[in-house]
Amino acid sequence: MGTKKISLTGIKPTGMPHLGNYLGAIKPALEMANSDDFEGYYFIADYHSLTTVHKAETLKEYIYEVAATWLALGLDPKKVTLYQQSHIPEIMEMNWITSCFTAKGLMNRAHAYKAIVQDNEERKRDSDHGVNMGTYTYPVLMASDILFLKSNVVPVGADQLQHIEIARDIASSFNYVYGDIFTLPEAKVQEGDLVPGLDGRKMSKSYDNHIPLFLPEKKLKKLINKIKTDSSEPSVPKNPEDSIIFDFYKLFATKEQIVDLDAWFRRGIGWGEAKLELFNVINDHLKGPREIYNELMADKSKIDKILEEGAARVRPKAQEFLIEVKKSIGVL
Ligand code: ADP
Ligand code: TRP
C-alpha cells in the first residue's frame, strides 16, 4: 500500500444514482482517486440496500446501475478498485466483531433510524413499525465497510457525517481495549450545501425529487421542465439567488456561463428559456458518460469482470487484517 492514504466510499444500490450522488460523493471520490496521494476503494453497498429492497431482480439491476455509473463517470478500474460489498464475506465477520463494541444507545441516536421512528409516531403507528434489524444496525455495517480496509478518508455527502462519526466511535471503543488496531477514518465532505432536489429539499431517491444521472435526453428535458416556477412574465427582472434553476446551473456551468445567465436573469428571462439553458448545460456534461453507461448496461459481462477483479484484490487484504483483529480479541 506504500505511503498512499486509503480513500473509500460506498453507494447503496437503490436506484439509478442522481445529480446529488454525483456532485456530493462520486465526483469528489474520483478526484481524490486520481490524485497521487490516495489509493481508491469504491464499492456498491448491496447489503445496505437489502434493508429496503426486497425484490431480487430489482436489486440485481440496481447493482449494475451503480457499477455502470462509477465506470461511466470515469472510474478507471486499473487504478481504482471497484467492488461489490457482498463479494467480501470478511466484512460480515468484521460486522459481528464491531457490533460487540457498539453501544445500543449509539444506534438509538442514529439520524436515519430516528427519522423513521418520528415518522411512525406522527402517523400514530408503533414506533418501530417497518424497522428491521438491518435498518437499526445499518451504521455498524457501514463502520465495518470502512474499518476493514483501514480507510483514512471517506468522501461522502454531508448527510453521512454522523455515520463516519459512529465508525470512529466504534473504532475507538475497540482500540481502547486492544490497542491501536483500527484506523480512525475521516470524512471528506464536499464544500457547499447538499444538492437540492426538484422541490427544494435535499435531492434524494427517497423523496422522489431527484434527477437521475442517465435519463434519456427527452426525459431529462421533461423533468427539468417540471421544476416549479412562479408566474412572472419573461420581461420581469428576476433574482438568480432565489432560483433553484440558477442553483443547478451553477453546479455545471463555467464561470463565464454563470455570469451571462446571472445578467440575463436580472434583465428578465422567460422560465422556459432558463430551463432550456439548464438542460443544455447538464446535458453537455452527461452526454459522453450516458453513452458509456448505456453500452455497459447493454452488455453487463464487462461489469461482472471488473467486480470480480475488485473482489480478488480486496479479499486478501481483508483476510490478512481479519487475522490481526481475531488474534487481538483472542479467538485465534
Ligand atoms: P439517497 O439519499 O438518494 O438515497 P444515498 O444515500 O444513496 O442517496 O447517497 C449516496 C451518496 O451520495 C452519499 O455519500 C450521500 O451523502 C451523497 N448524497 C446523497 N444525496 C445528496 C445530495 N442531495 N447532495 C449531496 N450529496 C448527496
Ligand atoms: N450509507 C451510505 C449512503 O447511504 C452508503 C455506504 C455504505 C457507505 N457503506 C459505506 C458510504 C461506507 C461510505 C463508506 O450513502
C-alpha 47 to ligand 2 mean position (Å):
11
- Indicate whether residue 51 lines ligand 2 (CB < 6 A): no
Region of residue 203 (left: phi > 0; alpha: psi -120 to 50; beta: else)? beta
pLDDT tens profile 239-256: 999 998 998 899 899 999
**pLDDT grade for 3, boundaries at 50, 70 and 90:** confident
- How many other CB atoms are there within 10 angstroms of residue 135's CB atom? 17
> Measured from the CA of 142, which atom of ligand 2 is nearest?
9
Pocket test for ligand 2, best of 26, 48, 194 (most atoms within 8 A of CB): 48
- Indicate whether residue 9 lines ligand 2 (CB < 6 A): yes
**pLDDT grade for 200, boundaries at 50, 70 and 90:** confident
- Indicate whether residue 204 lines ligand 2 (CB < 6 A): no
pLDDT for 285 equals 93
pLDDT tens profile 267-302: 999 999 999 999 999 999 999 999 999 999 999 999
pLDDT for 201 equals 87
- Indicate whether residue 188 lines ligand 2 (CB < 6 A): no
- Taking alpha carbons only, the member of 210, 162, 187, 207 closest to residue 25 is 187
The percentage of the chain sitting over the pLDDT mark of 70, rounded to a whole number, equals: 99
Please name the residue whose Cα sits nearest to atom 15 of ligand 2. 11
Residue in the block written with cell 437540492: 196
pLDDT for 296 equals 98
Cα separation, 160 vs 111, whole angstroms:
10
Residue in the block written with cell 471497484: 82
Is the distance from CB of 5 to CB of 153 less than 8 angstroms?
yes
> Measured from the CA of 8, which atom of ligand 2 is nearest?
14
Give the mean pLDDT of 176-205. Answer: 91
Give the mean pLDDT of 209-234. Answer: 92
Element at 248 (helix H, strand E): helix 244-252
Q: Is 205 helix (H, G, I), strand (E, B) or coil?
A: helix
pLDDT tens profile 12-51: 999 999 999 998 899 999 999 999 999 999 999 999 999 9
> Measured from the CA of 21, which atom of ligand 1 is nearest?
12
**pLDDT grade for 114, boundaries at 50, 70 and 90:** very high
With 0-12 / 13-18 / 19 or more C-beta atoms within 10 angstroms meaning exposed / middle / buried, residue 236 is exposed
- Taking alpha carbons only, the member of 166, 120, 131 closest to residue 145 is 166
**pLDDT grade for 228, boundaries at 50, 70 and 90:** confident
Give the mean pLDDT of 99-111. Answer: 97
pLDDT for 2 equals 60
Give the mean pLDDT of 183-191. Answer: 93
- How many other CB atoms are there within 10 angstroms of residue 285's CB atom? 16
Cα separation, 73 vs 22, whole angstroms:
9
One-letter amino acid at 328 equals S
Ligand 1 binding residues, C-beta < 6 A? 11-12, 14, 20-21, 23-25, 156-157, 159-160, 194-195, 202-206
C-alpha 282 to ligand 1 mean position (Å):
18
Please name the residue whose Cα sits nearest to atom 21 of ligand 1. 20
**pLDDT grade for 100, boundaries at 50, 70 and 90:** very high
pLDDT tens profile 308-331: 999 999 999 999 999 999 999 999
The three cell numbers of residue 245 are: 434553476
**pLDDT grade for 137, boundaries at 50, 70 and 90:** very high
Q: Rounded to two decimals, what is the model's pTM?
A: 0.94
What is the rounded (10 degree) CA torsion for 230, 235, 236, 241? 70
Is the distance from CB of 16 to CB of 56 less than 8 angstroms?
no
Ligand closest to CA 213: 1
Q: Is the pLDDT of residue 206 over 90?
A: no
- Indicate whether residue 171 lines ligand 2 (CB < 6 A): no
The percentage of the chain sitting over the pLDDT mark of 90, rounded to a whole number, equals: 88
Q: Is the pLDDT of residue 193 over 80?
A: no
Cα separation, 79 vs 73, whole angstroms:
14
Please name the residue whose Cα sits nearest to atom 11 of ligand 1. 21
- Indicate whether residue 318 lines ligand 2 (CB < 6 A): no
Mean pLDDT of the chain: 95
Ligand closest to CA 159: 1
Reported for 276-284, long-range contacts at CB under 8 A and 24+ positions apart, including other chains, are: 277/249, 278/224, 278/245, 278/248, 278/249, 279/220, 279/221, 279/224, 281/249, 281/252, 281/253, 281/257, 282/19, 282/211, 282/220, 282/224, 282/248, 282/252, 283/217, 283/220, 283/221, 284/252
